[in-house]
Structure 1
Amino acid sequence: MHEKIITFASPVFFLLIAIEFLVARKRQKHLYRINDAISSLSLGVMSQITGVFLKLLSVGAYAWVFNHFSMLTLDPGSIWVWISCLLLYDFLYYWLHRMGHETNLLWAAHVVHHQSESYNLTTALRQTSTGQLFGWVFYLPLAIIGFPVQVFVAIALIDLLYQFWVHTEQIGKLGWFDRVFVSPSNHRVHHAVNDIYLDKNYGGILVIWDRLFGSFIEEQDGEPVVYGTRSPLRSWNPLWANLEVYKAVWQDAWHTRNWADKFLIWLRPPGWRPADVRHLSQAQQFDLARPLYDPFVSKAAIGYCLLQFVALLQAATYFLLAYKSMSALNAVVYATWLIFSLWCIGGLIEKGRVYLIPESLRLLAILLMTILSANWFYSYALSVTGQTLIAAGCVISIVALCFIFLPKNTHGHLPH
């Protein structure tokens, strides 16, 4: 249900993104960079794809605890059950979110959401693909109390959908609303790397938890928010975005000689390192005035990547709606191709023709599958018209790929 609602809500998301883009342009605030937006949206798509498999862990664990250890069986037909579940869920989300900034293990997943150096509605869709590995533990008290699985899943979705609209710079302060609820103003603070704002405002729907537990700060007029992370990602690679912190912490855990530190490092705050490995690399000095990560890529290359992403979005939507009718092998193969495709698109935006061969292989695989099997990943029979359109799209894409990304000689002709 979760992924289907997100899928059906996507047109609304994109409509609001378009409105925000137009409003920002009218106000002479050019908040959108296509490379950054594609990166954020790619990470959102990837999180939905991996969520298809990881929800078996998160929702499955909740259901198992509910069936075996619940103290009560609360009535899903009662409005008070829903209201109390929403309040308790938001309270537990606050602590999950806070621990996501205070422990390496959870920060390694949550960092994805903070990596963008821009702040707009595409940032809201920039989600981790590994958050469900450990985050579900925080919500088990709801299962023990006795909130049914369907209530838990629905409330989790409500809490997630609420947070979409607060990722914007186009809405200013809202008076009393800012003092009770999470709003664009106090959530901008949460995404800041300024010293005064760092690690504040963790609430999901209600900001009163921050006020109660001392983690609230108001957005200051004299302190413009700077977005990103203290260790900038500087990449459009969606796989690396999900793995960079895991790799760094794992390397320190591997190299330290202290066996306690090998385990405790995962529970330490981000940036903490065992004493005997600090010499292996020097910590980078953070510059608040650093230039935004924006490697040059031609307009033609950006246009190609944007069109490929739009086409891939349709393929991902089909996967999220139809995966239950696929065999397990087909679902894994399809998901792998989608993630590989997102990796290729991010690579083309970042490094250009270095990713020419992987992208060509991706397109050739679809072309051969379409021609030889007349099926879309053996889950949907293609008509002759469908085959023709997909094959033509692949051929045109390969030609455009070569024309845009292959280096040209001094006479303006493609090299042999």
Structure 2
Amino acid sequence: MHLQERIITLATPVFFALIGVELLVARLRGRAAYRLNDAISSIGLGVISQVVGVFGKLLSIGIYGWVAAHWAPVALPADSVVVWLAALVAYDFLYYWLHRAGHEVNLLWAAHVVHHQSEHYNLSTALRQTGSGLLLGWLFYLPMALAGIPVEVFAVVALVDLLYQFWVHTEQVGRLGWFDRVFCSPSNHRAHHAVNERYLDRNYGGILIVWDRLFGTFVEEDDADPPVYGTRAPLRSWNPLWANAEVYWATAKDMWRARRWRDKALVWLKPPGWRPADVAARFPRPTFDLHRERFDPPLSRPLAAYCLAQFALLLGMATHFLGISATASLPVLLGYAAYLVGSLTLLGLLMEGRPVRWIEASRLLASVVLAGSGRWFADAHPDGRVAAALVLLFAASAAALPWLREGPSRAGAR
């Protein structure tokens, strides 16, 4: 397993333990911190991001390593503490500009929007990551390669910067005094995720918030104006494929409808929300409502329990996928990735109440056959007990599926 996949795998139990602590604290305070459907959607998008990332290392790590090896005038030592500290600060500085561009350039927002779609703010939101950010994000870090920072140092500090940001996605931690003035904190990042006018497009820092103070993008959280989360064009779906595609699709439609060639390019380069005048006049969009009702379609308790059980099983499979990513063949990895993404998409559609049970039943029966064959997306035969357990779980799920009512009771973690 590659170093990044190994660290993510080791960190995953810690993530879920902290989510459990946050849920407990919120309940003791009488707060509704989580909805099951929203949490499954956010964590599922994080799983897809990690799955896609296995295939995107050539862009993020491969190109960086090539530039560092061929274009850097010097090669800095990887065993120097100064190099590591400088690399972490440099990465965080460049992350600030990537993050800021992700809010100011529509093409980059189309990738970053995934992280902002949740209308809740909790630790599961931290795991909600894009599947397409790797397409252009690597460009912002090439200055580090040109400075001669070794690729192994870059890979680790990138992960450190990402892991740090997990804990700031919570409403259960209040103001932290001096810490809020120097570092990205829960209070600072709550403001970043808010769609209130005063908070919009502020607080981009990853570890350090001083970048925002230096470049005029800092705003302090105001108790008189509590943050409202989500985006100004609400997703209103649990479908992870649509979550990743929605802004690309909307922008492509505006590009097609625009009469001027200049506008066809500008729809990708202007800030999010900008539209050519002729397109906006002919195809108006609904006015943003800060106090809109959160997306929360009814989900019966039996169906919620089913979705949770299937999701837990898929999380185990995602861990297995990351574990074999360094040794399995490309066809195996592609097939496994397609299975995971397709399964998570079906769960999202089930939570929306879509008529996809026959497709889900087909997935379960195909999984029974695959597990029963003695191979489970691996080049080596799995343990017979594991295969038998998978067959039993999928067969039991297929038998239970027709008996699960869809509503109207709501279920979720509150």
TM range (shorter): over 0.9
TM-score with structure 1 setting the length: 0.95
Structure-2 residue corresponding to 1:34: 36
Distance in 2, matches of 1:89 and 1:377, equals 36
| Aligned twin of 1:364 | 365
CA distance in 2, matches of 1:383, 1:101: 47
**Do residues 312 (structure 1) and 339 (structure 2) align?**
no
Could you tell me whether the CA contact under 8 Å between 1:194 and 1:225 is conserved in 2? yes
- Answer whether contact 1:356 1:405 (CA < 8 A) is retained: no
**What's 2:412 paired with?**
none
Match of 1:410 in 2: none
Range with bigger deviation, 11-20 or 358-367? 358-367
C-alpha separation in 2, matches of 1:388 and 1:156 = 39
**Structural mapping, 1:303-342, within 5 Å:** 303-342=305-344
**Whole-angstrom CA distance in 1 between matches of 2:38 and 2:360:** 20
2:365 and 2:130 mapped to 1: Cα distance? 29
Equivalent residue letter for 2:57: K
1:388 paired with 2:407, answer no
Deviations 1:183-204 (A, max 9, x none): 0001000000001111110000
Aligned residue runs from structure 1 range 126-275, under 5 A: 126-275=128-277
- In structure 2, relative to structure 1, the CA distance for the partners of 1:406 and 1:110 (3 Å cut) is closer
In the alignment, is the contact (CA less than 8 A) between 2:105 and 2:268 conserved in 1?
Answer: yes
Determine the structure 2 residue equivalent to 1:397: 397
Give 3-state SS (helix, strand or coil) of 2:62's partner: helix
Match among 91, 95, 98 for residue 96 of structure 1: 98
User: 2:302 touches 2:405 (CA, 8 Å); kept in 1?
Assistant: no
SS in 2 for 1:77: coil
Correspondence 1:376 to 2:376: yes
* Aligned residue identity for 1:104: N
The whole-number CA distance in structure 2 between the counterparts of 1:330 and 1:290 is 44
C-alpha change, 1:258 and 1:69, in structure 2 (3 Å) is same
Give 2:136's aligned amino acid. Answer: F
Report SS of the residue matched to 2:352: helix
How far apart, in 2, do the equivalents of 1:91 and 1:385 lie?
A: 49
Per-residue CA deviations over 1:58-87 (Å, capped at 9, x if unaligned) read 111111111111121111111111111111
- CA deviation vs aligned residue, 1:283-309 (integer Å, no higher than 9, x gap): 211111111110001111111000000
Task: Tell me the amino acid that sits aligned with residue 61 of structure 1.
Answer: I
Q: What is aligned with 2:410?
A: none
- Which structure 2 residues correspond to residues 34-113 of structure 1 after superposition, within 5 A? 34-113=36-115
Count of aligned pairs between the two proteins: 405
TM-score (norm 2): 0.96
User: CA shift at 1:370, angstroms?
Assistant: 2.2
The 8 Å contact of residues 371 and 391 in structure 2, kept in 1 or not, is answered as yes
User: In the alignment, residue 33 of structure 1 is paired with which amino acid?
Assistant: R
List per-residue Cα deviations over 1:220-248 (Å, max 9, x = no partner).
Answer: 12111111100110000011000000000
1:352-400 Cα offsets, whole Å, 9 max, x none, are 4x111221121111111122x2111243413443332211111110111
| CA drift at 1:264 | 2.5
Are the counterparts in 1 of residues 111 and 244 from structure 2 also a CA contact under 8 Å? yes
Which letter maps to 1:205? I
The amino acid that maps onto 1:102 is: E
User: Given residue 389 of structure 1, which amino acid in structure 2 is its aligned partner?
Assistant: A
Q: What secondary structure does 2:168 align onto?
A: coil
Residue pair 2:112, 2:133 contacting (<8 A) in 1 also: yes
Distance 1:293 1:135 in 2: 30
Q: In structure 2, how many angstroms separate the alpha carbons of the residues matched to 1:391 and 1:56?
A: 36
User: SS of the counterpart of 2:155?
Assistant: helix
Deviates more, 1:274-283 or 1:306-315: 274-283
Q: Which runs of 5+ in 2 are unaligned?
A: 408-414
What are the Cα deviations for residues 70-117 of structure 1, in whole angstroms up to 9, with x where unaligned?
A: 121111111111111111111110000000000111000000000000
CA distance in 2, matches of 1:147, 1:404: 55
- The answer to whether the 8 Å contact 2:300/2:406 transfers is no
Q: What does residue 414 of structure 1 align with?
A: none
